[in-house]
Chains A and B, each alone.
Chain A
Amino acid sequence: DAGVTQSPTHLIKTRGQQVTLRCSPKSGHDTVSWYQQALGQGPQFIFQYYEEEERQRGNFPDRFSGHQFPNYSSELNVNALLLGDSALYLCASSLRQDSSYNSPLHFGNGTRLTVT
């Protein structure tokens, strides 16, 4: 049973460029959340996708956008990259129907983005 997979694992971009990160949720999960983890910090919630729509959003600018596909996989896009966007980007999947929270949030290993 595959867990959450993210690609690529590492990425180097130049300031002003655009980047797309990809995530495949754990089998059976239908909801994908994205987090940004800066060096030495805890993860910060970017947004969550369910049924191909953005359902919740954290305090991130519109340069951060996403998409969810019919197979529940997801992409995170960041436009006009800034040096401060350098971070580990984590994808987490869950099952929306599980309002009892018995199904834990599963995290991928992340994509390390470096902006130069």
Chain B
Amino acid sequence: AQSVTQPDIHITVSEGASLELRCNYSYGATPYLFWYVQSPGQGLQLLLKYFSGDTLVQGIKGFEAEFKRSQSSFNLRKPSVHWSDAAEYFCAVVRGNYGGSQGNLIFGKGTKLSVKP
């Protein structure tokens, strides 16, 4: 069965430091992968997505992610974290094969990011 694992429940980084949030997926075929961010009391906002092609994808707010098929990973990175990046981050994969609606996503449990001044 498909699954998404985010090994880190909570990460704290200093403002200006680099960030990497880990995501591992389980799926036999080419996955359709997403990273979302959720601020307290808010819904989810899409940061970036991977469907095919270049394995390094750029997103909003200076985030990028790299798809590594050999490691079944889709880690999120940012070179310099800002205090406003403090939030919860979710990795997700589309359930099923290509052509399945993107509305049916499997989410990881999330990683809460705290930023130290």
Contact = CB atoms under 8 A, between A and B. Distances in A.
Interface of A: 4, 31-33, 40-45, 48, 50, 55-56, 58, 90, 92, 94, 96, 98-99, 101, 104-105, 107-110
A109 B103 CA distance: 16
Given A33-B103, A33-B104, A43-B90, A107 B109 contact: no
A31 B105 CA distance: 14
B25 interface: no
10 contacts: A42-B90, A42-B108, A45-B95, A50-B101, A56-B103, A99-B99, A101-B51, A101-B94, A104-B49, A110-B42
Which of B43, B45, B92, B104: most chain A CB closer than 10 A? B43
Contacts of A33: 101, 103-104
B6 to A, nearest CB: 8
Contacts of A109: 41-43
Question: Which 5 pairs show the lowest CB-CB distances between chains A and B?
Answer: A42-B107, A33-B103, A107-B43, A107-B44, A104-B46
B63 interface: no
B109 A48 contact: no
Given A31-B101, A33-B104, A56-B101, A105 B51 contact: no
A101 B104 contact: no
B101 A45 contact: no
Contacts of B103: 31-33, 45, 48, 56, 92, 94, 105
Contacts of B99: 99
Nearest to A112: B41
Nearest to B105: A45
B102 interface: yes
Nearest to A32: B103
Nearest to B4: A42
Nearest to B107: A42
B32 interface: yes
A107 B106 CA distance: 15
B106 A45 contact: yes
Nearest to A108: B43
